[in-house]
């Protein structure tokens, strides 16, 4: 991993105290998305990691909504497809859905029932892992479709919230970690 590329990505994540509620330190990737060189460095790093880790991946599955910003360019680089995991009520056709707890409430995720075939190899991606509720819900959806989850991949992990522990035996990788 290139330390310079990693520094370039880290330098473009800015903290916002007390957002969305008092006591939360929000990690904002907006500056990273605005900087083409930093965003390219991010995709390069994630691509390098996945190519070194997995000989075959069928799809990148991205979480609504920031996973949609990172997943498609990464999937394109790898020459594979991208699958949407959306908030409830946003996808047409038959879907699978799952409810889960958020840091500040409850939510529901869904995926189209035919998004992946049994046994297909999937990497689930999002921008950030906090308490792990959203990522665990995404994993549950993939398990229902009988996909093989190779890894859960995020740009930022908030270590203090121990979200990766909820993933149990599912491999997990974060590019940047914060306490």
Q: Would you name the residues annotated as active-site residues?
A: 66, 103
Residue with tokens 């990737």: 29
Q: Residue 175 corresponds to which tokens in the numbers above? A: 């590019």
The secondary structure element, H or E, covering residue 27 is strand 25-28
Residue with tokens 């909820």: 166
Q: Quick one: CA dihedral 143, 145, 147, 153, positive or negative?
A: negative
CB of 112 within 8 A of CB of 78? no
């Amino acid at each position: 991993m290139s330390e310079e590329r990693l520094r370039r990505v880290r330098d473009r994540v800015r903290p916002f105290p007390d957002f969305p509620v008092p006591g939360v330190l929000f990690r904002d990737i907006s500056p990273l998305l605005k900087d083409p060189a930093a965003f390219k460095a991010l995709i390069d790093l994630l691509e390098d990691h996945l190519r070194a880790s997995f000989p075959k991946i069928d799809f990148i599955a991205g979480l609504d909504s920031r996973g949609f910003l990172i997943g498609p360019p990464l999937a394109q680089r790898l020459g594979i497809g991208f699958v949407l995991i959306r908030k409830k009520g946003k996808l047409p056709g038959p879907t699978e859905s799952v409810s889960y707890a958020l840091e500040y409430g409850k939510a529901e995720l869904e995926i189209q029932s035919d998004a992946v075939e049994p046994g297909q190899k999937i990497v689930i991606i999002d921008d950030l892992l906090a308490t792990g509720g959203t990522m665990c819900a995404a994993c549950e959806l993939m398990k229902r479709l009988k996909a093989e989850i190779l890894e859960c991949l995020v740009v930022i992990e908030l270590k203090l919230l121990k979200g990766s522990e909820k993933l149990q035996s599912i491999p997990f990788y974060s590019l940047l970690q914060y306490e």
